[in-house]
Amino acid sequence: MRTLPGSGHLIAPSILSADLARLGEDVDKVLDAGADIIHFDVMDNHYVPNLTFGPALCRALKDYGVCAPLDVHLMVEPVDALVPQFAEAGASCISFHPETSRHPHRTLQMIHDCGCSAGLVFNPATTLDYLRHVMDQVDLVLIMSVNPGFGGQRFLPVALDKLRTARAMIDESGRHIRLEVDGGIKADNIRAAAMAGADTFVAGSAIFGAQDYRHVIDAMRAELLPSRINCSGR
């Protein structure tokens, strides 16, 4: 099965804010600057009021030579038909919002059957209750810290409580499940998200909007040092 790196903090730049006219080069540049995985936001102008990328672009990045894991965030409804297409296009992890699938259990199973890791995404107002019933099927839990649909929005602090709750549920399960946070993450709030339990950090505008990607990624990593987050190096 294709997986995300197993341990440590992961920085996941979202290509939503990349230079789309030079996407391959820009992705290479952000990986050279120290990014771990690439976050790929798929929006359908139906579930969210914006329209972005499909499987063809995912395949194009792989064909261009991007080896880093692709972390596909589906903001589409319905979701199932796109799962095999993104798997064939080279996705490592495919995440979806439970309310976009009539049968989230079946969709998670389908993602695994296609050879990818599976993630479930929770909006600021979506209950984590879904998670209790499918904990043994998820490899990643993604907590939205903005409402989905656009890059460049402000981090919603309400996400911190949700991260704490999700972290407790994950720890209680005893499974290795990544806890990702997505939306408005910057060097000045990444530490709060890590202290609330996140281990995987999506950042679009904060990284691709900067002149020097390495400078921003280094600043984020500095905030994630165990001595800064005062925990034993999750």
Could you list the residues known to form a binding site for substrate, using ranges: 14, 73, 149-152, 182-184, 204-205
Could you say which of 36, 41, 44, 199 is catalytic?
41
Binding site for ligand 5RP (CB under 6 A): 14, 16-17, 39, 41, 73, 75, 146, 148-153, 182-185, 202-206
Binding residues: 14, 39, 41, 73, 149-152, 182-184, 204-205
Query: Total number of residues binding Fe ion (CB under 5 A)?
Result: 3
Residue 41, interface with Fe ion (CB under 5 A)? yes
Residue 130 touches which of ligand 5RP, Fe ion, none (CB < 5 to 8 A by kind)?
none
- 80-119 binders of Fe ion (CB under 5 A): none
Could you say which of 26, 44, 182, 199 is catalytic?
182
Catalytic site includes residue 19: no
Choice between 51 and 168, CB closer to ligand 5RP: 51
Residue 152 touches which of Fe ion, ligand 5RP, none (CB < 5 to 8 A by kind)?
ligand 5RP
- Contact status, residue 160 vs residue 193, Cβ threshold 8 Å: yes
Choice between 71 and 223, CB closer to Fe ion: 71
Residue 79 touches which of Fe ion, ligand 5RP, none (CB < 5 to 8 A by kind)?
none
Q: How far is the CB of 172 from ligand 5RP (least distance, A)?
A: 27
The CA angle 171-191-38, to the nearest 5 degrees, is 80
Catalytic site includes residue 41: yes
Q: How far is the CB of 185 from Fe ion (least distance, A)?
A: 10
User: 59: which residues sit within 8 A by CB, 6+ positions away?
Assistant: 88, 89, 90
Residue 71, interface with Fe ion (CB under 5 A)? no
The CA angle 91-50-197, to the nearest 5 degrees, is 55
